[in-house]
Every structure is written in structure tokens, then in C-alpha cells.
Chains A and B, each alone.
Chain A
Amino acid sequence: MTSSVDRLYVDESGDKKIYDRLKTEEPFFKNYTGNKELFLFAMAVGFKNEKRLPLGKRLGYFLEKDLKYEDYVLINAIAINETESLDVLANKVEIFKIAEEYAHGGLKFLSKEIGPGHYGSFSKNFELQLDKII
């Protein structure tokens, strides 16, 4: 599958399964089962945990048109921070690539935090994590 800037991609080898598990197994995401919402969350987690992983085979996950401007702001901020250059803002391919790789990394991180043994504890742990940030 060829890459296109009309959509954002995930790693075909296993990301979708993890996203599906987030949707079905973790009550925290009960109201956020949209692909874009989960992707942005995974991206933020990946960035915070400095886990940027390149994608293998790419699988289109949602269309760019689903992004609202406030979503772009988040993606752009990561790209600026990552490249330490404002010029990246003129390179949508690069911006999306960075976002996708952080989401891929973040997802690996999240996959360890959910599942039957963690039921209901994700929310608590996440709150604690945020307490450390503020």
C-alpha cells in the first residue's frame, strides 16, 4: 500500500488489534472509541515516554479530514519539538510520520497497561502519572 497524506497510518502487524483491545477491554476509553481519538492518545503517551518507533508495513487508520484544527496543533507541536525547526510545519508528510511513529510507540506502552489483570486500574495509574506532570 502506498502512503498518502490524506490519511494517518498505523503498523499493520499488530497496532489495530491493540487499538481494538483498548476499545473493548479498557473502560477508560469507553467514550473514546473513535480511531482518531485513540491514535492521538497513543501519540501523546508515546511522546511522553519518548517511545518513537518506525512503522513496518503501514495500514491506513483514519482520514486526515477527521482531524480538527485543535488536533493539528498537538501534532504540529510534537513535530516542532522533534525537529527543533518551524519549517517542519510546511512538511505535512514529515509531521504525520512523526505523529504515527509516536502513536506506534505509545501503543506498545499502552498494550502493557490494559487487559483483564488491569481492569479499572488504568484510570488510577494514569491519574497518578498526570499528578507527577503537574
Chain B
Amino acid sequence: MKIQNYRQYHDIDINFSKGSQTDLQIFIGKNGVGKTNFLNAINWCLYGDEPHLSAESDRQPIVNKQTRLESSNDEIPTVLVEIHARGKKNNPIIFKREKSYTISSDRKSVHEHQTKFVAIVKDKKNNDVFKEGEDAISLVKQFVPESIREYFFFDGERLENYFKTVTGVKIQQEMMDISQIGLLQSMSERLEKLTKEYSKEAGRLNPDFDKIRSDLDSENTRVIQLGNELTDLDTQIESAKRRLGEIEVELKGIPDVESLEIDRDGIKNQITKKTGLIEAKKIEKNDLLYKHGISLLLKDPLSNTVKIIKEKHDNGDLPPTDDKDLLLSTLDNPICKVCGSELNDKSREYIKNILQTISLSSKVAHELQSMEPWLDRYLDQNTNYPKIIKQLNYEMKLIDDELVSFNAKKIELDQKLESFNVDKVRKLQRERVSLENAKETNLRRQGRAQTDLETAKKRVEGLQIQLDKAEIEDDRSKNLANKSKFCNEAIQIVTKTKIQLLDKIRQDIEDETNKKFFELIWKKKTFKCVKIDPNYNVSLISVDDIPMLGSVGKAENELLALAFMLALHTVSGFDSPILIDTPVARISDEQRENFGKILIEISKEKQIILLFTNDEYSDNIKKIINPMASNRYAIEMARDEMSTDIKVV
């Protein structure tokens, strides 16, 4: 490979010589020195673009900085990348892209001139033959077609997400390109066109023919539409099933978070309710303690007073029969309050005697009588207190116990929920419900579409018979009918062949991926197989028959991607090299050793170019790769940071 004036590379010439055992080319360089632009240089040479350009590089002109600054005004520097490869039958082939530029006087901007792209091959006499334009592009297609270049030159950083970003449809399309099934497609389209022409001609000979033909056409269109609808539904159902499988793996052993959250909310409500209840009970208890407390603290004086009143009752002092105050006032003013006559001595003596037997004044007696019912009430209250307080304490304990139990449940649920990434789990569970609903709907639609398709096919058959009859009825159209029939049969054969070929290729890729994956994988008892469905959705099946693509480690995922790509290489027949930028960046230290061994194994059959960062090329991978590498190169930036050099280590 030769690089001149391209970005960091001022003037580089690398000879990728093969080693005795491997064809393993190792490049090591710090971040930012231009490893990824090495990958871009290959893309630029072959396809004229730079798909891995960083934002920083994107702002810079393609012409090397040193060249730009050192060039004189009348000089037109040329950016050149040359790849020396081997084509079909191992014949040498050189791809060469060059572009000339004019530099502005301030040396900051450049003006592009023409681009020249050539492919140089050898003729039988070993002379150079220069191919340009479509011829050159055609040779690139034979080397690494643009549509599948990302399976040859890629960034290890994205291998981990390989199956997330590369859709089945894209792979399917590329498989059609690789296997040149487009030829069959063109053949089929041409045959359909011919059939229509023959039918049109026949229609002119038979007036009914047009009507039948038109009906047949529309029914055929309907068959195609229903077929497409069924394919779409099938894709959607399969995709839903696959995603559901992945979700199932991710959610394995994880409870229904939403229902746990509902339970926790319910418990929170119960806790709030019970806390409120216990507060109300505390207030009730305080009321009880206050009201009964006073009468209990005064239990003795209240009881004594009751006792005294009882004695007064027993002695006949209560209720009072005589008015002590009236008798006293009669003695003070000795006129009888009844008859008005003056009291004599005998009467006065009599009143004095009565007064001696009366112990309570009317006021006191009246007071005592008024107090009586309240005293009884207080004493009753005191008697009832133990029962009431016991009941209240019992009720409070029950609520307290419930609170303790609810709090324990809440803590348990909190801990359960804390142990999961609730947002993620909730999202997955919602996605699962949504996918299940979508799957069910699509299955119903699939059933209906299937029935409609059968009906439409029967109608096509009926119309075809009518058409054949109409054609045969007319001698002149007989010949056309035969041609039309031939074309129809040919279309069916071509279509069938196309389907069989696609399926064969898919099957070959699946077999090859399985073979490579199980050759490469170090954990051989975890996985059962790799499956590739008709839509090229790749699934990794565990020994328990569970699709587990979403839950495998980074190393396994990257390995699967690598196995899949190697299978594509094998099946496609392209023997071009594989270039991986930062091959083990996403792989943990302990897996790097295994991964290194695998890359060495692959390099025994195919050229592997690996671009490592210094950090990535750690001791454990170094000790595996160094002894086996065909060449090791250091990518180093010059001190002035204007260019990068590649040196053999």
C-alpha cells in the first residue's frame, strides 16, 4: 500500500509481506495518530469516500498538513493512495486513486481538481493494462464490492453492536448482490414484460381476451400485494418473536416490576392510612387519659364525698325535712312564720331542740344533692376506665402490628425493586406487552391475508384457464399462447430458483457461521447453535433453546459477528483481506487472549490487518500475537504533529 499526502500520511509505503505461518499484519499507534484514517485511506482509494472520518479530520482538508504548508504557490500537490492486491486467479491488481489540489495563498484552504481512479492489471504478456471508469469500478466489485465493504473493513468499536445496527433486510439485500441473484430478478422482469406483450397481441385478435387479461393482471397484482403483505407480516412476527425471546432472557428471574410497584403503592397507602388511624387513636387516648385522669386522680375525695352523702342519707339528713335557716331566723326574730304569733319560751325551746337534730344547712344539703349524680358519674367513669383503656390499647397494638408488618413489606419491596434497574425493566415489560399485542394482531392479519391469497390464487388459476381457452380458440393466437405459456412457466422456474438460491445461500451462511462460531468460541457448552432466519435475523440459541443474543457478553457478541462475517466471506467467495480497527477495544482483559488466538487462527487462511491502540495492545495480547505476527508496524506522529509515519517494528 502506498499513501502520499493523504491526511496525516505524508509519504508511506507498506509491503504487507506474508509470514511463514500467518498473514497477520499488526499496526500499533496512540489514539489520534491516524489509525482510523488508514482505514479511511483504503475506503477513499477504492470507493472515493471516507466513512470513518472523525469530526476533527472532517474539518481538515484531505491534503497532508506538511505538504500544504511546504508547497509553493504554483505547485499542485497530489493526494494518492495505491493498493496492490490479488484479483481473480491470484492475478496482481493495483487500485490507484489520485486527486490534485491547489493550495490557497494563506495555506489554509485547498481547491480540488480532478480525481483519477484506475485499476491496473496484467495482460497475458505481463504488460500493464490500465482500466478506468466502469471497468475499474467493476474490478473493485470483484475485489470488495462497495455494498458489503463494511464486512471487510470495519471498526471493532461497533462489532459489539453489529447485530443491532446491521438489519436483516440490509444483509438480505447484500446477499442478493453477492450471489448476483439480481440476474434472475432481471430475467424474471424481462419474461413478465414479454408475457404482457404476447398477451396484448393476442388480445387484439380476441376481443374477450383483453377483459380476461385485465382481470388476470389485477388478480396477479393482488396475489403479489398479498404475498408482500404476508412477507412483511412474517418479518414483523419473526422480529417480534426474536425480540420477545431476547426480552424473556433479560427478564428471566425478574418479577413483574409494575405489579410490585402497584403493591408498594398500595402498602404505602395502607401505611399512610394506618399512621393516620394511630394518630387518631393517640388523640382519643389522650382525651381518655385527660378526662378519666382528673376523676381518677381525685378518686379518694370523690369516693369520700359519696360516702358522706350516703351517711347523710342514712341518718335522714338528706333530703332535709326542716329548713335550718328558717328556724334560725325564727329564733332571731321570735314571731312564728306560720301563724304570726309571738313565740313563747316553750316554743323557743322546741325550736332549739329541733335545730340540734338538723346537721346540714339547706344550702349545703341542696349542694350535696346536686353533686350526687355527678359524683356517681365520675365514679362510674373511674370503674369503666380499665376496660376502656385496655380496649383502646389493644386496638392501638393491632394497628401498630399492622404498621410494622406493612413497613416490613415495604422495605422488602423497596429492596426487591432497588436490586433491578426499574426503569429498564419497566420499559422491557411494557415493550413485551406491546410486542405480544402486535404479534397477536399480525398473526390474525396473517391468517386473513393467507385466506385472501388462497382465494386470489384460485381466481388466477380460473382466469388463466379462461385465458388459455380464449387463446386456443383463436388459431392465430395459438402461437402467442404457447409463447405466453412458456414465459409464464419460465417466470415460475426463475422465481423458484431465486428462492431456492437465496435459501441455499442463507443455509450455507448459517452452517458456515455455526462452524466458525463453534471453532472460535471457548465456552462450548453454553450455546447450542446460531440460527439465521429467512430475513437474515441472526439468533444465538442457548443449550436451553432460548434465544440469547441480547444477554451474551461483549466478547461472545463480537465473536459471533466475526464468525458471521467470516461465513459471508467464505460463501461470497471474496478472498479479500479483513481490516479491523481497534479489534479488542470492547473486550475485557481476560477474553483478549482468547480473541487474539482466534484472530491468529483466521490469519492462517486470510490476510488480517489489525489496528491496535497502545493501551489495547496489552501484555496479555502482545504475548500471543507478537510471535505469530507477519509484520508489526508502529504508527507514530512526527514531533511537529504535521505527519504520521509507519515504521516496521
Chain A: residues with CB nearer than 8 A to chain B?
A: 27-32, 37, 40-41, 44-45, 47-48, 69-70, 72-74, 76-78, 80-81, 86-87, 89-90, 123, 126-127, 130, 133-134
Contacts and interface: CB of A to CB of B under 8 A. Distances in A.
Interface in B276-304: 282-283, 285-287, 289-290, 292-302, 304
A49 B377 CA distance: 24
Nearest to A120: B282
B128 to A, nearest CB: 101
Given A28-B289, A73-B374, A89-B364, A133 B304 contact: no
B283 A76 contact: no
A96 B330 CA distance: 32
Given A80-B305, A130-B296, 14 more contacts: A27-B286, A30-B286, A41-B293, A41-B294, A44-B298, A70-B374, A73-B374, A78-B301, A80-B304, A86-B368, A89-B363, A127-B389, A130-B289, A130-B292
B610 to A, nearest CB: 72
Interface string B130-157: 0000000000000000000000000000
Contacts, number: 99
Contact of A123 (B285, B294, B360): B285
Contact of B368 (A69, A89, A127): A89
Contacts of A130: 289, 292-293, 296, 385, 389
B52 to A, nearest CB: 70
A76 B370 CA distance: 11
A77 B294 contact: no
A31 to B, nearest CB: 6
B382 interface: yes
Contacts of B389: 127, 130
Contact of A44 (B293, B364, B370): B293
Nearest to A78: B301
B364 A81 contact: no
A45 B296 CA distance: 10
Chain B, interface SS category? helix
Q: Is the interface of A mostly helix, strand, loop or mixed?
A: helix
A76 B366 CA distance: 13
Nearest to B383: A134
24 contacts: A27-B286, A29-B290, A30-B283, A30-B286, A31-B283, A40-B294, A41-B293, A69-B374, A72-B371, A73-B371, A74-B294, A76-B305, A77-B304, A80-B301, A80-B304, A81-B305, A87-B361, A89-B368, A123-B282, A123-B285, A130-B289, A130-B389, A133-B297, A133-B299
B375 A73 contact: yes
A126 B305 CA distance: 25
Closest 8 CB pairs of A and B: A81-B301, A44-B297, A48-B297, A77-B301, A73-B374, A44-B294, A77-B305, A89-B367
A134 B386 contact: yes
